[in-house]
Structure 1
Amino acid sequence: MSEYPPFAVTVDLVVLTIRADGLAVLLVRRGVPPHEGAWALPGGFVRLDEDLPRAAERELAEETGLTGAATHLEQLGTYGTPHRDPRGRVVTVAYLALLPDLPAPIAGTDAAGAEWLPVARVRKLAFDHDRILADGLERARAKLEYSPLATAFCPPEFTVAQLRAVYETVWETRLDPRNFHRKVTGTPGFLVPVGRATEGERGRPAQVFRRGPATALHPPMLRPTTDR
């Protein structure tokens, strides 16, 4: 008999997008015990023949119908508190995925439903998913300060106003349009003009950009300390 007790590995996903009603997270309604009927993050057990990122992509597709959709997928953290799962000793590796607005997901496998829910309306989740979601939200908010991650919420080509709306939604604050425009267009490698304009705020032409080659923002886009 082995001196090491058996345990399982799962992946869970914090999938964020921006919809008309604000920052939203993808949740599934559990169709089987434990926590049957409760909302949870999409995820599941890792198979013996797959690595962790592949398991995350598979679970996202199986439980929601979203395939190859995430424009950003990164490992968020590992959670292994004893008794976090009543089925046994289960360690989960959480991933953070960000993507532009998409249609309603389609539930599959053991999920009874799948929906985008506004982050502000999320209450109690199954397992320790409240903690994982909170960590994912803080990771996304912090990374907007020092990386071009906000563009993952945008279409391939976007205006500064659309980018500012991402920052305002994720940070839950208002930003001065002129100061924001000056900062993002003055940060080396953040944005690249595509050479055309579209109708912007108040009907004025707005220059269109795409994400630039920068992987870090210098100087960073610091979050306001208080709402404006």
Structure 2
Amino acid sequence: MTIISRLKMTLGLTLIASTALIGNSYAQTQTIIVAGGCFWCVESDFEAVEGVSEAVSGYIGGHTKNPTYKQVSSKNTGHYEAVKITFDDEVVSLETLSDYFWKTIDPTDANGQFCDKGGPYKTAMFYQDAEQQAVFEASLAKVKANKPFSEDIVTPILAATKFYPAEDYHQDYYTKNPKRYSYYRFSCGRDSKIKKLWGSVESKKHK
């Protein structure tokens, strides 16, 4: 074998190995998009889960391009307040996060969440591919079969559309403004309602 042939073979093996590493790394990181009322609270709930590296507040599902918070809160754009969650699926699975989602919301309310009513505050799960759709639907079926309350679950499972990150001041609001956030969460009755519906959720923490 000539020196040039050996170099070509070495280069080819290096490229194959690099591609494999990139593929494995990509496969370990996934995103999930959910709407659960106030995105500050959803962000807080999911960033407390081991394996979640980031939760970004934003808007999804509407008909206005590049919507602002003012536009969305007017309830005329059709957007949900939503959160895009990045996680390592070797630490926490898509199934686990899907099951956890239900325990952080009131899935019986078709008009919003807790003290926030209207389109932007409705709940939903947004699948980004066929695998996510199957996981979400299986999670929903499991919850319907085992829910500790009699009311129907009205949270839909929808195909994801373009996700628009919210303004910077909304990101990590619960850490930037802890007193205001805690007061809002308490006065809105989020945790008391969740406890009434689901009981204690051991994995749930609030920073």
Whose strand fraction is larger, Structure 1's or Structure 2's?
A: 1
* TM-score when normalising by structure 1: 0.27
Relative contact order, higher structure (CA 8 A, sep 6+) = 2
Indicate the structure (1 or 2) with the bigger Cα radius of gyration: 2
